[in-house]
């Protein structure tokens, strides 16, 4: 999603236990944030200069030649070789050549780190193409460091001579040796790779350090407020059960954000447009009615859709009411499926609240699952506990308690923690 690096630390407390099991694509999230670390960016920026001093080991390699001399003759080895084959064959020589070995521990540490960075940048190509500020600030601010890294990996003769590390490499001993190196490039590579592994392992201080420098905040308060409400839902439901959600990454085209299986129930949370990927949509049935039977207000709505269909030639316009800004909560048991629709308005103005009420009622009235209306004509808004409108705190106005509110429930931000469990419990209990 679009966003920026906040000036203030936004991740004061985290719960790192079972991260790799609870968060889908957890490793990818760690890698994405890892390449946003300022010290990783600086490491890549300084790489071309530092690679001029790549360390190697020099060793003598002996080869048996027949009829030619290639290098320095090792006479003692030559006599032994001739004696073992044919003492009278004077065309046999054992020659030694000094060669440089690039496959030392320090270089394998360096190669693994660069492979992680390079592969992650390739997988994040879609973010680079969208020109998100949070990745351009680090990788394309003054120069295109992505292309710099790719060019270095393609053309640097030192790097190409280092073999690809095995799956188990580098080992702890290799990391220790690189960390004790006199050369800064190896010490820094060992430090970064060690920190990366600690983050993958879910160590709290490593994750906190990572988020301190790479947490991304939405550009606008409205989106941040939506995410606040979204995760308040997840927190409330987890507080009512003994199980925990499996969380999905929120991204364009994704479906569910969270899923929990507990007590013979399946609880799924959808965010924004994700619900429509699961056969859920909010489509009015006004197109199916006789225009002569419509009221003036309904006729305007009907003709708006018809005019739109005739104007846009490439695709038929469907009359969608819109979509909830944050939550579609689906609770499925053996025999029933219940939905909780939530609209969020980052406002405390009465006019905006009234607009939010109208939109929430529309969502409930036109909610369809696989093309079929969820609520009947006699109870088109549910039982009064299927819709929620969340607003900012309204300090100057008195408001009714949720038990006295009809058709939908309106909650202010400060009421979520105390009142949301009552709404969710009603749905969980059927």
Please list the helix, strand and coil fractions of the chain in percent, rounded to the nearest 5, in that order.
Answer: 50, 15, 35
The three-class DSSP label of residue 338 is strand
Hey, how many other C-beta atoms are within 10 angstroms of the C-beta on 138? 20
Task: Work out the average pLDDT over 41-47.
Answer: 91
- pLDDT for 105 beyond 60: yes
Contact between 115 and 108 under an 8 Å Cβ cutoff? The reply is no
* Tens digit of each residue's pLDDT (9 = 90 or more) over 57-100: 666 777 788 888 877 888 998 899 888 988 888 888 888 877 77
> How does pLDDT run across 386-430, given as a tens digit for each residue?
999 999 988 776 778 888 898 999 999 999 989 999 999 888 876
pLDDT of 3 strictly over 80: no
pLDDT in tens, 349-370: 888 888 888 888 888 888 888 8
Supply the pLDDT for residue 37.
93
- Name which of 108-122, 317-331, 337-351 the model is least confident about: 317-331
Mean pLDDT over each residue of the chain, to the nearest integer:
81
363 near 374, Cβ under 8 Å? no
The confidence score (pLDDT) of residue 313 equals 57
**How is residue 307 written in tokens?**
């005019």
What was the pLDDT predicted at 16?
45
User: Which CA distances in Å does 406 have to 24, 86, 410?
Assistant: 38, 105, 10
* pLDDT at residue 114 greater than cutoff 50: yes
Distance CA(367)–CA(283), nearest Å, equals 7
Q: Which parts of 156-220 fold into alpha helices (H)?
A: 157-161, 172-179, 184-200, 204-214
Between 244 and 180, where is the model more confident? 180
The answer, yes or no, to whether residue 125 has pLDDT greater than 60, is: yes
Distance CA 341, CA 328 (A): 5
Which pLDDT score is estimated for 22?
57
- Cα–Cα distance measured from residue 271 to residue 79, given in angstroms and rounded to the nearest whole number: 79
Report d(CA 129, CA 159) in Å as an integer. 28
Helix axes 204-214, 184-200, angle to 10 degrees: 110
Q: What pLDDT does 398 receive?
A: 73
Percent of the chain exceeding pLDDT 70 equals 82
Average pLDDT over residues 160-186: 93
Structure confidence at residue 269 (pLDDT): 87
Give just the sign of the alpha carbon dihedral 186, 189, 194, 197.
negative
Q: What is the CA radius of gyration of the chain?
A: 32
Strands annotated E in 208-264: 246-247, 256-262
Pick 254 or 201 by higher pLDDT.
201
Q: Residue 16 and residue 204: Cα distance in Å, rounded?
A: 6
Residues 319, 307: contact at Cβ < 8 Å?
no
CB 128: neighbour CB atoms within 10 A? 16
Please calculate the CA angle 13-18-21 and round it to the nearest 5 degrees.
Answer: 125
CA distances from 4 to 1, 28, 32, 137, 138 (A): 10, 20, 15, 9, 11
User: How confident is the model at residue 186, as a pLDDT?
Assistant: 94
Q: Is the pLDDT of residue 174 over 80?
A: yes
- In this prediction, residue 216 carries a pLDDT of 84
- The whole-number pLDDT of residue 272 equals 65
pLDDT in tens, 4-35: 666 544 444 444 445 555 566 788 889 989 99
Asked if 244 and 238 count as a contact pair (C-beta separation under 8 A), the reply is: yes
In this structure, are residues 176 and 184 in contact, taking their beta carbons and an 8 Å threshold?
no
Hey, how many other C-beta atoms are within 10 angstroms of the C-beta on 358?
13
Burial classification of residue 156, based on how many CB atoms lie within 10 Å of its CB (0-12 exposed, 13-18 middle, 19 or more buried): middle
- Whether cis (ω within 30° of 0) applies to the bond prior to 170 is yes
Which residue, 183, 200, 206, 196, is CA-closest to 104? 183
User: Which range has the worst mean pLDDT, 16-20, 42-46, 157-161, 264-268?
Assistant: 16-20
| pLDDT > 60? residue 332 | yes
Given a cut of 60, whether residue 377 has pLDDT beyond it is yes
Write out pLDDT tens, residues 278-322: 567 777 666 666 777 777 776 776 676 666 666 555 544 444 444
Q: Taking a C-beta distance cutoff of 8 angstroms, is the pair 216, 5 a contact?
A: yes
Q: Extract the tokens encoding 2.
A: 């679009």
């Amino acid at each position: 999603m679009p966003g920026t690096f906040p000036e203030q630390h936004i991740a004061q407390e985290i719960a790192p236990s079972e991260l790799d099991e609870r968060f889908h694509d957890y490793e990818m999230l760690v890698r994405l944030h890892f390449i946003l670390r300022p010290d990783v960016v600086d490491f890549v920026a300084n790489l071309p200069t530092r690679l001029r001093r790549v360390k190697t080991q020099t060793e003598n390699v002996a080869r048996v030649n027949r009829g030619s001399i290639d290098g320095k003759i090792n006479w003692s080895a030559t006599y032994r070789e001739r004696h073992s084959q044919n003492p009278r064959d004077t065309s046999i020589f054992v020659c030694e050549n000094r060669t440089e070995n690039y496959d030392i521990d320090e270089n394998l540490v360096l190669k693994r780190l660069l492979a992680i960075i390079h592969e992650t940048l390739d997988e994040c190509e879609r973010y680079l193409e969208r020109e998100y500020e949070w990745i351009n600030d680090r990788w394309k601010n003054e120069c295109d460091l992505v292309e710099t890294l790719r060019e270095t990996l393609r053309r640097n003769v030192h790097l190409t001579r280092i073999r690809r590390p095995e799956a188990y490499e580098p080992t702890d001993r290799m990391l220790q040796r690189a960390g004790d190196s006199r050369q800064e490039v190896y010490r820094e590579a060992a430090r970064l790779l060690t920190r990366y592994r600690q983050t993958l392992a879910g160590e709290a201080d490593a994750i906190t350090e990572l988020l301190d420098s790479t947490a991304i905040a939405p550009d606008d308060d409205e989106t941040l407020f939506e995410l606040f409400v979204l995760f308040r839902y997840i927190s409330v439901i987890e507080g009512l059960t003994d199980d925990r959600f499996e969380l999905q990454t929120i991204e364009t085209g994704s479906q569910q954000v969270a899923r929990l299986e507990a007590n013979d129930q399946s609880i799924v949370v959808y965010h924004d447009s994700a619900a429509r990927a699961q056969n859920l949509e909010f489509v009015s049935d006004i197109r199916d009615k006789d225009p002569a039977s419509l009221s003036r207000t309904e006729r305007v709505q009907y003709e708006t859709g018809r005019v739109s269909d005739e104007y846009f030639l490439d695709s038929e316009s469907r009359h969608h009411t819109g979509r909830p800004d944050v939550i579609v909560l689906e609770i499925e048991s053996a025999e029933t499926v219940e939905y909780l629709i939530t609209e969020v308005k980052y406002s405390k103005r009465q006019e905006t609240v009234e607009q939010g009420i109208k939109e929430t009622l529309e969502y409930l009235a036109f909610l369809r699952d696989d093309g079929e209306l969820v609520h009947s004509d006699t109870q088109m808004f549910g039982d009064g506990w299927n819709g929620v409108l969340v607003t900012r705190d309204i300090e100057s106005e008195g408001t009714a308690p949720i038990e006295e509110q009809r058709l939908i429930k309106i909650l202010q931000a400060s009421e979520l923690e105390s009142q949301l469990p009552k709404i969710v419990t009603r749905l969980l209990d059927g």
